[in-house]
Amino acid sequence: MSELFLRADGRRVDELRSVRFQNHIAPHATGSTLIEWGNTRVICGVTIEESVPRWMKDQGVVGGWITAEYSMLPYSTLTRKPRDISKGKIDGRSQEIQRLIGRAMRSAVDLEKLGSRTICVDCDVLQADGGTRTAAITGSIVALELAFQRLIREGLLSMSPMSNAVAAVSVGVVAGRPLLDLCYTEDVGAAVDMNLVMTGAGEFIELQGTGEEATFDETQLAAMLALGKSGIKSLLALQRSALE
């Protein structure tokens, strides 16, 4: 049976790597956490600006805004990854991921209740072993709620504007088997790679699925979605524990 199949790191097909949050890792951020997800480590920091982008003022849009930046530090991978600033531009992958993080955060927050503020979410990858974008999203939600708790303590908010619980996880097909939460060695060998971003109500924010020189059928898609939903449920519980 597939659930008895053990992967290279000893996990079952439906098992997450270990996930741990170390909160308040960045003292000068309004909210921050270090998410350790297997051997992937991402610092998620939130800072608040008491203003909104000019386009919101010009268009008369009420409420606040959330933006995100994502970067992999040079020593986060086996071979040194040059900083984007050394190339004079953000690479396409980083740009795609930070836009995804921003969309996920905006789906989690009632922007009108946020008030005329801009939230900046910064995700810096210290160590990459697969799933950096899903770790960034899952960790950023914790950092975001920590920031809201601080604003409430300081009397700047009366209640948290967080409207949805949100988490993200990877799934894929490796050697013909649907797997949950791919590590790097599984990711590079995957015939299908997919990322799920979901709310606590079971609604999808984003699905990113690709056949890597392969195709996948409805049965495999259903199996990956089932694995992903189960993983999201576990991650949401871990987020709640990190915030208690």
Q: Which of 151, 150, 64 is nearest to 108 (CA)?
A: 64
CA-only gyration radius of the chain, Å: 18
- The residue type of 235 is L
Q: What is the pLDDT of residue 29?
A: 97
Fold of 2-243: Ribosomal Protein S5; domain 2 (3.30.230)
Q: Residue 31 corresponds to which tokens in the numbers above?
A: 């909210």
Q: Return all residues near 135 (Cβ < 8 A) that are at least 6 apart.
A: 35, 37, 40, 41, 42
> Within 10 Å of residue 92's Cβ, how many Cβ atoms?
8
| Domain boundaries defined on the chain | 2-243
Each residue's pLDDT expressed in tens, for the chain with a length of 244 residues? 345 667 878 899 999 999 999 999 999 999 999 999 999 999 999 999 999 989 988 898 989 999 999 998 888 888 888 887 777 777 788 899 999 999 999 999 999 999 899 999 999 999 999 999 999 999 999 999 999 999 999 999 999 999 999 999 999 999 889 999 999 999 888 899 999 999 999 999 999 888 877 888 899 999 999 999 999 999 999 999 999 8
For strands 19-23 and 31-37, give the pairing: antiparallel
DSSP annotation string for 39-98: TEEEEEEEEEESS--HHHHHHT--S-EEEEEEEE-TTSSSS----HHHHTS--HHHHHHH
For strands 118-127 and 65-72, give the pairing: parallel
Q: Return all residues near 177 (Cβ < 8 A) that are at least 6 apart.
A: 2, 5, 13
Q: What is the pLDDT of residue 211?
A: 86
Q: What is the pLDDT of residue 9?
A: 84
